[in-house]
Structure 1
């Protein structure tokens, strides 16, 4: 019996924000994986090590969490006034599935440094020292992200003293601008940032009851609910949620109900093939708590607490795209996020999450009866962890 040998594919393993993933140049992928379809999905699943019934990703590059089961494909931009196109795939851990329905805000941070280091930016455009704004077209959702990359001696600066809660070591600060982050096409609202047109909805959830919810599509479609309404304080850490199967089932029911109400899916069954979006997050007024690192987060240092789920589990920190949704919702008076933060008008919010705190800025405006937001801003960091090539069996895709 003969077996196909492994093939070698150039790749870079990068951390971006509180996530990490395998980055590819589009032209480096095998020809049949350079276009969307089953071959590409099968290749990326094999790279990550999915589907894995053991939930460990022992035979792949994944880390068996939603934050580490990710792949990114970068190519020269097809859009005017942009440097690169960025396509993101969220690889399911235990099922044969790659979700292309949304963006990863954390890995967006690493796209700028990757683009510079891999020759997508003419070196003549780079300053000797300073910052360079890489204009990124986020191909999953059709949005522009500007990644302000620090430059030292003409190259990407990766080391620094910027500390990001949820990341062990400091690095160089990278500022992200998510331009016009509200969705333009999906949902029953015809592209409105608030798909139902309401600041707060009564969301009927089978088996759970009727909950107050803010449904927003900025950064990523997100269903916000009050922590107290589902028996939480908003100070929970991962074990409090992820080790409670009944809780995860209830939160998934809320996600499905929100997806239906937002018009993202037509039937509950469709939610199984749309695991990445929408997100579910629960909010609560600022309360002192102990983060997963053991550090005490004082109520006086934050505006509110937020906990969010990604791919069916409580996230260890906060997804970057969900942070955009949090900042945007906080800027709109009357949403659940805004009310948890104390109400009123605001252009920035600092919230507590399981690993610590995060500040995100957004300026919302009410124009022609609809809320809009021009951009959301936050700081993250990124670093190359390994570069070279990944290997997969030649018959795996």
Structure 2
């Protein structure tokens, strides 16, 4: 019996923020996988090790969590004033599909560095030492991200003393600017940041209840609810929720009906094939808690508490795109996020998450009765973990 040999594909395994992913240059992919479609999806599924009924991704590069089941494809941009096109694929762990519906804010921190190191940025734009500004076109959502990447001796500086809660070791700081982060495409609101037209809605979830909710398209579509309305305090860690299948099912139902209300899907049954978006998060006023690292987080250290779910599980820290949504909603008086932070006008917020705290800023203003956000800003870090080739069976795609 003949066996198909494995093939090698150039790839780099990178930590970006509190996520990890396999990065590819578009030009390095097999020809059939350089365009969207079944071949590309099958290849990425095999690289990550999905679908895996055991939920471990042992036979692939994935780490069996939403934070580590990620892929990125970069290409030199043909768009004016942009250096690189960034496409993100969230790979399902137990199902055979790749979700292309949103961005990964955490891995965005690694895109600039990878683009520089991979020859996708004009060498004349890279200083000998200092900061290289990389303009990124986020192809999933059609938005611009500006990454400020530190450079030492003409190369990307990865080491440093910047500490990010949820990441064990310090590294170099990468500042990200998410320009015009509100989604203009989907939803009942016809381009509004708030697709329902309201800062707060009553979200009716059959079989679960009716909750106050802020549904926002900024960074990534997100449904915010009050922690106390769903029986939580906002201080929960992963085990308190991820070990309870009934609660996870309840959150998924809330997410599905939130997606329907936001106009992201036409029927709740479609939510099963759109796992990456929207996110569901719950907010609460500050209180003391112990983070997953054992660190004590005092109520006075934060403006509010936020817990968010990604791909059906409570995230161990906070998704970068959800942080953009948090910062944006916090800047707009009257949203649930803003009210949990004490209300009023603000251009930055520090929130508590399961691994610690994070600060995110946003510039919001009211124009002709509509809220707009020019940009959201936050700092992350990134580090190459391994580079070389990934191997997959030649008939994988």
**Normalising to structure 2: TM-score of the pair?**
1.00
- Residue in 2 aligned with 1:370? 370
| Partner Cα distance (1:124, 1:205) in 2 | 55
Q: How far is 1:246 from its partner?
A: 0.8
| Partner Cα distance (1:396, 1:97) in 2 | 14
Residues 1:230 and 2:226 are matched in the alignment: no
Q: How far is 1:78 from its partner?
A: 2.6
| Partner Cα distance (1:212, 1:61) in 2 | 40
| Partner Cα distance (1:390, 1:111) in 2 | 19
- Deviation readout 1:163-207 (Å, 9 max, x if unpaired): 000000000000000000000111111111011110100000011
Residues 1:292 and 2:292 are matched in the alignment: yes
- Residue in 2 aligned with 1:246? 246
Q: How far is 1:120 from its partner?
A: 1.0
- Residue in 2 aligned with 1:89? 89
- Residue in 2 aligned with 1:34? 34
- Residue in 2 aligned with 1:346? 346
**Normalising to structure 1: TM-score of the pair?**
1.00
Secondary structure at the aligned position of 2:323 is classed as helix
Q: How far is 1:124 from its partner?
A: 2.2
| Partner Cα distance (2:32, 2:254) in 1 | 38
- Deviation readout 1:281-325 (Å, 9 max, x if unpaired): 000001110000000001101000000000000000000000000
* Aligned ranges 1:197-208 → 2 under 5 Å: 197-208=197-208
* Aligned ranges 1:105-120 → 2 under 5 Å: 105-120=105-120
- Residue in 2 aligned with 1:268? 268
Q: How far is 1:389 from its partner?
A: 0.2
| Partner Cα distance (1:83, 1:201) in 2 | 40
* Aligned ranges 1:1-397 → 2 under 5 Å: 1-397=1-397
Secondary structure at the aligned position of 2:260 is classed as helix
| Partner Cα distance (1:3, 1:304) in 2 | 57
Secondary structure at the aligned position of 2:67 is classed as coil
Secondary structure at the aligned position of 2:82 is classed as coil
Q: Which runs of 5+ in 2 are unaligned?
A: none
| Partner Cα distance (2:184, 2:334) in 1 | 23
| Partner Cα distance (1:248, 1:122) in 2 | 46
Give the number of aligned pairs. Answer: 397
Structure 1 stretches of at least 4 aligned residues deviating more than 2 Å after TM superposition: none
| Partner Cα distance (2:15, 2:194) in 1 | 32
| Partner Cα distance (1:91, 1:205) in 2 | 27
Secondary structure at the aligned position of 1:67 is classed as helix
- Deviation readout 1:204-246 (Å, 9 max, x if unpaired): 0011111000000000000000000000000000000000111
- Deviation readout 1:244-281 (Å, 9 max, x if unpaired): 11110111111011000000000011101100000000
| Partner Cα distance (2:41, 2:274) in 1 | 15
| Partner Cα distance (1:74, 1:188) in 2 | 32
- Deviation readout 1:121-164 (Å, 9 max, x if unpaired): 12222111111110000000000000000011111000000000
Q: How far is 1:104 from its partner?
A: 0.1
| Partner Cα distance (1:130, 1:140) in 2 | 30
| Partner Cα distance (1:196, 1:123) in 2 | 45
- Deviation readout 1:35-65 (Å, 9 max, x if unpaired): 0000000000000000000011110000000
Q: How far is 1:25 from its partner?
A: 0.3
| Partner Cα distance (2:306, 2:94) in 1 | 27
| Partner Cα distance (1:21, 1:2) in 2 | 33
Q: How far is 1:31 from its partner?
A: 0.4
